[in-house]
């Protein structure tokens, strides 16, 4: 990097940037935007939303010392205490064993195993995928964590980094099985939620430093790059036929086939890229070596091109919102410039992508018009069962809608096509309230981390993760993100990654 900074090219680019910055600062547009920013910043600092973002709240402040948190930690640590007791009894033979020492040391690198497991999960073709893989792989990572803490009496698992609401959501998911109208249909979905709880638990407890967090995010980016490369190969070399089930050919007559990579559906691939690209942007900012920055840029470019050719409209909107949130948390001064650049870039989009975006408001597109009766059906269901919902899983909701004849559409009813409605219909009022509260808690914690923490790696990954989650929720207004358990698992992986970054930011604040 030092060689690059002393080169003639670097000098010319730096001089050009300094000249452009000076011209902009002296221009009428620059003065107008600076005045607008000062006005906006003054309004923001005195607004209700500042208190909403930055005030911790009584529930959040009481969480670390609460009886619920301590009780959950005590239950989680029962297996670890048992292993530590076994170690004390067999200390001499275990300390002299090569394999025991290897297991103890491997446990200290559980974060690395988590990153590689996530990369592998993103690279398995749909034809070979089993939803049990995510449970199996991260159960093995949890075993590594337990083995790593076996000879460390101070080691403890904790849900402190979860925040006060996430446990309620997973509890609501468990309880919604026996409360389901169709317990037999709901039971198998509990495995998916267990996998999601497991990944959050593993990440929050496996990551202990910014370097570990960076390597974990790098493992995720590696898997995203592999999936993107196959998507590019699919688009450029193999070719993708137009599938009428994925696109209304009457409205989108000239649109080519939609890329889906290792996933069954182009919308699922688009949702993965929409959630993953903000994490890659964070890696671009925090990578210290130029070649790692270049690698992160390559991942971003490959993923952005693949997202474009998935033609997933909801993912386009979700990524735009994620970009706005990222800039908002990182540097609010750039918001006007970012909006201007975004608008200026619209004419540069390929015709197929631009035409696809323009169909978002086209009610003659069957993929849009068919959602209205699906929304209405689930809303009717919630009016009848607002407290408990129909039960965990899309099958239970589908059966309840069918038996009570709430659905009046022509295309088959699969799910609500709205993440919040579907979560409410599956987990009830406690589930949707705790899920929304956990998202709000994460957003507020990120805002405080950005304001108070000095750790650049944790700050940027917290921003990237929160941007991805909020973008996913906007995308989820038009689709059910968790239709495919693999995409559901990615969502909760990013949730766990974000909570890990927030935990490190809090640790930095406590040290200062």
Taking only the tens place, the pLDDT of each residue in 125-152 is 988 999 889 999 999 999 999 988 888 8
Check pLDDT > 60 for residue 342: yes
Residue 7 lies inside a defined structural domain of this protein: no
8-state DSSP, 236: I
Question: What pLDDT band is residue 217 in, cutting at 50, 70 and 90?
Answer: very high
Picking from 181-195, 306-320, 340-354, which range would have the lowest pLDDT averaged per residue?
Answer: 340-354
On average, the pLDDT of the chain sits at: 86
Question: Which of the two residues, 42 and 494, has the higher pLDDT score?
Answer: 494
Token reading at 299: 């991942």
Residue 367 contacts residue 396 (beta carbons within 8 Å): no
Token reading at 218: 């790098």
Q: Measured on CA atoms in the order 449, 455, 461, 467, is the torsion positive or negative? A: positive
Picking from 117-121, 350-354, 476-480, which range would have the lowest pLDDT averaged per residue?
Answer: 350-354
Which one, of 23, 414, 393, 418, lies nearest residue 193 by Cα? Answer: 393
**pLDDT attached to residue 451:** 79
Check pLDDT > 80 for residue 337: no
Residue 12 lies inside a defined structural domain of this protein: no
SS percent in the chain: helix, strand, coil, step 5: 75, 0, 25
Residue 360 contacts residue 400 (beta carbons within 8 Å): no
Picking from 27-36, 80-89, 138-147, 166-175, which range would have the lowest pLDDT averaged per residue?
Answer: 27-36
8-state DSSP, 153: T
Q: What is the pLDDT of residues 446-482, one digit of tens each?
A: 988 887 777 789 999 999 999 999 999 999 998 899 9
Residue 41 lies inside a defined structural domain of this protein: no
Check pLDDT > 90 for residue 419: yes
Check pLDDT > 60 for residue 194: yes
Cβ neighbors of 287 (< 8 A, separation 6 or more) are 293, 295, 296
Residue 30 lies inside a defined structural domain of this protein: no
* CA atoms of 211 and 290, how far apart (whole Å): 17
**pLDDT attached to residue 270:** 94
H-assigned helices in 311-393: 313-330, 335-345, 351-358, 366-369, 371-384
Residue 340 lies inside a defined structural domain of this protein: yes
Check pLDDT > 80 for residue 81: yes
Q: 201 φ, ψ to 5°?
A: -60, -45
Residue 50 lies inside a defined structural domain of this protein: no
Question: What pLDDT band is residue 124 in, cutting at 50, 70 and 90?
Answer: very high
Q: How many Cα neighbours within 13 Å face the side chain of 98?
A: 0
Residue 337 lies inside a defined structural domain of this protein: yes
Angle, CA 507 vertex, CA 465 and CA 140 arms, to 5°: 60
Check pLDDT > 90 for residue 488: yes
Which one, of 491, 461, 503, lies nearest residue 118 by Cα? Answer: 491
The domain total for the chain is: 1
Neighbours of 168 (CB within 10 A): 18
Question: What pLDDT band is residue 249 in, cutting at 50, 70 and 90?
Answer: low
pTM over 0.85: yes
Q: In the predicted model, what is the mean pLDDT of residues 222-227?
A: 96
Residue 337: helix, strand or coil by DSSP? helix
Residue 318: helix, strand or coil by DSSP? helix
Q: How many Cα neighbours within 13 Å face the side chain of 201?
A: 25
Residue 421 lies inside a defined structural domain of this protein: yes
Check pLDDT > 60 for residue 505: yes
Q: What is the pLDDT of residues 376-407, one digit of tens each?
A: 999 999 999 999 999 999 999 999 988 988 88
Query: Which of 41-45, 69-73, 103-107 has the largest mean confidence?
Result: 69-73
1-5: long-range contacts (C-beta < 8 A, 24 or more apart)?
1/289, 1/290, 4/290
Cβ neighbors of 300 (< 8 A, separation 6 or more) are 277, 280, 281, 284
Residue 335 contacts residue 343 (beta carbons within 8 Å): no
* CA atoms of 31 and 432, how far apart (whole Å): 45
Write a three-state SS string for 96-148: CCHHHHHHHHHHCCHHHHHHHHHHHHCCCCHHHCCCHHHHHHHHHHHHHHHHH
Residue 466 contacts residue 442 (beta carbons within 8 Å): yes
Q: 254 φ, ψ to 5°?
A: -100, 10
Backbone dihedral region of 46: left (phi > 0), alpha (psi from -120 to 50 degrees) or beta?
alpha
Question: What pLDDT band is residue 500 in, cutting at 50, 70 and 90?
Answer: very high
Residue 358 contacts residue 317 (beta carbons within 8 Å): no
Q: Which domain holds residue 492?
A: 61-511
**pLDDT attached to residue 226:** 96
């Amino acid at each position: 990097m030092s060689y690059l900074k002393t080169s003639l090219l670097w000098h010319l680019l730096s001089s050009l940037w300094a000249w452009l910055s000076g011209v902009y600062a002296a221009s009428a547009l620059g003065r107008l935007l600076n005045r607008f920013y000062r006005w906006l910043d003054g309004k923001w600092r005195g607004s209700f939303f500042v208190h909403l973002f930055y005030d911790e709240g009584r529930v959040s402040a009481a969480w670390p010392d609460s009886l619920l948190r301590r009780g959950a930690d005590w239950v989680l640590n029962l297996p670890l205490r048992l292993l530590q007791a076994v170690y004390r009894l067999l200390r001499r033979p275990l300390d002299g064993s090569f394999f025991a020492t290897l297991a103890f040391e491997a446990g200290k690198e559980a974060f690395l195993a988590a990153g590689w497991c996530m990369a592998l999960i993103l690279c398995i073709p749909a034809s070979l995928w089993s939803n049990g893989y995510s449970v199996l792989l991260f159960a093995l990572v949890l075993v590594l964590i337990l083995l790593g803490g076996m000879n460390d009496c101070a080691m403890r698992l904790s849900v402190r980094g979860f925040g006060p609401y996430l446990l309620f959501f997973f509890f609501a998911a468990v309880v919604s099985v026996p409360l389901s109208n169709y317990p037999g249909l709901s039971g198998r979905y509990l495995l998916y939620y267990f996998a999601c709880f497991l990944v959050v638990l593993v990440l929050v407890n496996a990551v202990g430093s910014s370097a570990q967090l960076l390597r974990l995010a790098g493992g995720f980016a590696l898997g995203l790059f592999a999936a993107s490369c196959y998507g590019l190969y699919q688009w450029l070399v193999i070719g993708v036929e137009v599938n009428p089930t994925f696109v209304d050919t009457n409205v989108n007559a000239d649109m080519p086939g939609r890329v889906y990579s290792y996933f069954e559906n182009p919308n699922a691939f688009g949702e993965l890229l929409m959630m993953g690209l903000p994490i890659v942007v964070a890696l671009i900012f925090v990578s210290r070596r130029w070649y790692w920055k270049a690698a992160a840029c390559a991942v971003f470019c490959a993923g952005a091109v693949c997202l474009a050719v998935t033609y997933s409209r909801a993912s386009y909107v979700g990524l735009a919102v994620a970009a706005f949130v990222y800039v908002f948390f990182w540097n609010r001064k750039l918001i006007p410039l970012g909006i201007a650049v975004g608008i200026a870039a619209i004419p540069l989009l390929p015709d197929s992508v631009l035409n696809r975006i323009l169909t978002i408001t086209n009610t003659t597109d069957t993929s849009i018009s068919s959602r209205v009766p699906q929304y209405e059906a689930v809303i009717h269901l919630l009016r009848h069962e607002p407290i408990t919902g129909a039960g965990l899983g899309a099958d239970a909701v589908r059966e309840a809608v069918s038996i009570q004849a709430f659905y009046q559409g022509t295309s088959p009813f699969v799910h609500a096509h709205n993440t919040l409605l579907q979560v409410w219909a599956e987990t009830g009022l406690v589930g949707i309230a705790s899920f929304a509260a956990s998202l709000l808690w994460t957003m507020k914690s990120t805002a405080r981390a950005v304001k108070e923490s000095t750790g650049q790696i944790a700050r940027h990954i917290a921003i990237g993760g929160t941007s991805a989650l909020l973008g996913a929720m906007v995308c989820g207004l038009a689709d059910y993100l968790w239709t495919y358990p693999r995409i559901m698992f990615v969502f909760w992986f990013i949730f766990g990654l974000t909570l890990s970054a927030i935990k490190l930011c809090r640790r930095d604040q406590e040290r200062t």
